[in-house]
Structure 1
């Protein structure tokens, strides 16, 4: 086996069929798919079990959470490459062959993404196309934003192991923290074609929940804080001081602006869980005033369209 494709599900019974079909339709004798039911309370496990085969394994467990689960799965595989696939998302035809071919042909590269279609799960409409064009050293560009959506990525396991893999302290933004650390040991690349559909407006997803979104922002900014320290003095605060390193971390104004922009564009208050400061209160007051003009404002803000 060369490649392991991993997808972790929690209460996604209605999204299993299309999502997993997009994986099994692409597997070969050199690929395996591992599907994990993370303690679902609906019929997700029954839906996953329909796909069991020689190259498709189904694991069920208590609800341990995404990061500990994916870390454990990767620890127990014996392939050179790992592809992530978000539960409910769709990997388009040719994704795995093309990403694997790139990584095998370019040994100094460890992480490869692709363009993504952001697709409304209710209407199946492709809302936008997302992609950051990267080819090479990503250490400084990653300080500006996460280059990839998690599910589009394939990486080389040797580089993953070199940096210690996912860190369980990151309940959210675990992928961003991993890419930041892997950027010190390998190059990154984006395949310039849409090979992945990321579903939006999914019940329970981070992007539809204000509290989860705020926590994701905190972890994302903390990952960047650790990376800046590694670049400046070679020390990772989390590795050296544990969770005590959070005491020296402050959420800056740019992070609040990100949530404010999302709130205005989507007409929903994602700042509700932020600390109440003059700036956050001002931003929250402006959301209902500006949201009716979201189409015009989106042109001013710009989006990651390709």
Structure 2
């Protein structure tokens, strides 16, 4: 049963902790729980996973995913080659303090602040322990490239391996239903629109331009905008322009025509009339009053 975690509460920023081709013959690793994720596939040999009391047989070319906090043990038969990666998918400011647990570490209460959230706790994500990727060749190649790049310690390699880990996560999620969270989508929509409007504040912006940037029809955009901002696009844009103009009046010694230009008003007269209608005072009177109060 999922806990309904929201993607917006957990920034995705992969961090590779261990990534290599494990080689061993007839081995056993006792029960433990992980703080991070373990993804692996079998290159050679025969591999058994016991996860929360269920046995999974992994044969060459097959994949498995162990998510944080689950109880598991592993056993290999014959000469086994197991490309694998231990990694975080979600940002944690203390991620460098986290570690790969060892057999016998089944109680992680002391390290709960380092425990990654499970992917299966997010909406519409249901990844089994043993899974069949939609693109097995691509997933296998991504892991091989991660292993190769992870041997280097320079900044380019570090960024490259993070990029590959992000690709790996996308390939994993490709095996679930499209994960749609209204909360996350709303936050992304609001952030994109605020950035777009701020960047174009001094320009003449139409609702058609806003809708095109957001990727919606005008009618759908207007409804969506009203839902997330509580006002029409025109009213929100005017509020944003007045807010930015007020900030300039508070912090800068600029002529009114320049403030009007910066904030998208037709001219100083238009700015003054709009500002007075909203605040009950002219921009100059507001500025003088502000300075008197701070002196």
* Interval containing the TM-score (normalised by the shorter chain): under 0.3
TM-score normalised by structure 2 residue count: 0.26
TM-score normalised by structure 1 residue count: 0.25
Larger radius of gyration: 2
